[in-house]
Amino acid sequence: MACGPGYLQGLTSPLSSARLENQPYIEGPWLRACGQTNVSCRVVKGKLVEVGKWPWQVSILFLGTYICSGSLIHHQWVLTAAHCLQRSKDPSLYSVMVGVHQLPENGTQLPLTRMTIHKDFSNLVSQDIALLKLRDSISWNPLVQPVCLPNIKFKPSIGSMCWVIGWGTTGKKG
């Protein structure tokens, strides 16, 4: 994507249920679309960045400090890695920040009421998945949107394009 200074790309078309028939699983009236982005470009620290490209990405905080990323999958649920929650099993010590593009940046910080870690998680590789339940339901806006989830039968074809997003270090050491 190419963006010029102050150029607003505009809202992408939401994925309809018909387009998602063989891929993401959609259930319930709470979700009318997923995978929707609203990209605008701006200069941050001298570099052109695409704000709103990953509106489902959240920052997971432990005692107010960033520890991991997650993805919004519902108005009250975040999908993340189980290893992110090894510091404590007390959900009140964790929170989630939504609507953030770069760290540190102020966003809406939301408390948790529950953490569900896969029952077979025991190391950093196997079954490394968890769900976080937000205390309050959030409203979608251009910078806060749900990600699409595949159905149980979905198998990506060889050569499929995939992305990994987060606020980690880039390069050989990160």
Residue 128 annotated in active site: yes
Catalytic pick from 75, 90, 128, 136?
Answer: 128
Residue 74 annotated in active site: no
Residue 37: closest CA among 102, 107, 81, 101:
101
> At residue 14, does pLDDT exceed 50?
no
Cβ atoms of 100 and 64 within 8 Å: the answer is no
Write the single-letter amino acid at 125: V
Question: For the segment 84-133, what is each residue's pLDDT rounded down to a tens digit?
Answer: 999 999 999 999 999 877 666 677 889 999 999 999 998 767 899 999 99
Catalytic pick from 83, 101, 118, 120?
Answer: 83
Rounded CA-CA distance 148/132 in Å is 17
Q: 54: Cβ–Cβ under 8 A, 6 or more apart, which residues?
A: 37, 165
Q: What percentage of the chain has pLDDT greater than the value 90?
A: 41
In a 3-state reduction of DSSP, which class is residue 83?
helix
Tell me which of 3.40.50.880, 1.20.140.160, 2.60.120.1440, 2.40.10.10 is the CATH number of domain 8-134: 2.40.10.10
So where are the chain's domains?
8-134
